[in-house]
Chains A and B, each alone.
Chain A
Amino acid sequence: DTEVTQTPKHLVMGMTNKKSLKCEQHMGHRAMYWYKQKAKKPPELMFVYSYEKLSINESVPSRFSPECPNSSLLNLHLHALQPEDSALYLCASSPEVADYSNQPQHFGDGTRLSIL
């Protein structure tokens, strides 16, 4: 069973729509991540939250807006996306961020996003 839950599993939206992706974990982890993954490629990091504060933004376009309402929840708000934004969006969590951490990240099954 996946300990990181993502909803929805699939999302189709037009370029003018606004939608949100949701992620939830109940492992008490204090670091949460958003990744974008294209087919057969490794995940690309987008954002890192540590103790509910945004610690890393990997130069992601402003049409992606993350939010961490509490230590268990992570949202990704989407607005005015482009066709090239179609991808699998993965959420992950880990106990905390650390130097050369030996704590693995736990991934959800992702939201498959298609932009029309």
Chain B
Amino acid sequence: GDSVTQMEGPVTLSEEAFLTINCTYTATGYPSLFWYVQYPGEGLQLLLKATKADDKGSNKGFEATYRKETTSFHLEKGSVQVSDSAVYFCALPTRGNTGKLIFGQGTTLQVKP
């Protein structure tokens, strides 16, 4: 069945460092892909999405490219800030009219000043 594998954390970086969080997926079709972010004490927020191969989603300095050939959707940011400290989830919707989302295990990012 469809699945998402996300790199384990926690990831600790200094401010202005480069960030990569790896996400790979398996799917029988061509799903959309999402990155959600969860700040402390809050719910999940959509960070960015891509709906087809080679699409690049971007928001708040974060980017991710839908790579069909490597079945990946890695999240990157060129210069992280303390305010980016959060848990990041990669997700894809399932086949069929279910509304279900498959989430990766989540990666905790801590950015130190």
A100 & B32 in contact (Cβ 8 Å cutoff):
yes
Stretch at the interface among B12-20, B37-45, B74-82: B37-45
Q: In the complex the two chains form, what is the Cα distance from A99 to B28 in whole Å?
A: 12
Interface flags, A24-45, vs B, CB<8A=1, else 0? 0000000101000000111101
How many chain A residues touch the partner (CB < 8 A)?
Answer: 31
A107 & B45 in contact (Cβ 8 Å cutoff):
yes
Tell me the minimal C-beta distance from A23 to chain B in angstroms: 11
* A104: interface (CB < 8 Å): yes
> Which A residue's beta carbon lies closest to that of B39?
A109
* A72: interface (CB < 8 Å): no
Residues of A within 8 A of B93 (CB): 98, 100-102
Cβ < 8 Å to B, chain A residues 60-116? 90, 92, 94, 96-102, 104-110
Q: In the complex the two chains form, what is the Cα distance from A31 to B104 in whole Å?
A: 22
Given contacts A33-B99, A98-B99, A104-B34, 14 further A-B contacts (CB under 8 A): A4-B43, A6-B43, A40-B108, A42-B106, A56-B99, A92-B44, A94-B99, A100-B27, A101-B32, A101-B99, A102-B93, A104-B46, A107-B45, A109-B43
Contacts known (A2-B43, A40-B87, A42-B106); A56 close to B100, Cβ less than 8 A: yes
User: Could you say which of B32, B95, B104 has the most chain A C-beta atoms within 10 Å of its C-beta?
Assistant: B32
Q: In the complex the two chains form, what is the Cα distance from A43 to B95 in whole Å?
A: 19
B interface, over-half SS: loop
B106 & A40 in contact (Cβ 8 Å cutoff):
yes
* A48: interface (CB < 8 Å): yes
B34 & A99 in contact (Cβ 8 Å cutoff):
no
Contacts known (A40-B87, A43-B44, A107-B44); A48 close to B95, Cβ less than 8 A: no
A90 & B44 in contact (Cβ 8 Å cutoff):
yes
Contacts known (A40-B87, A41-B106); A105 close to B43, Cβ less than 8 A: no
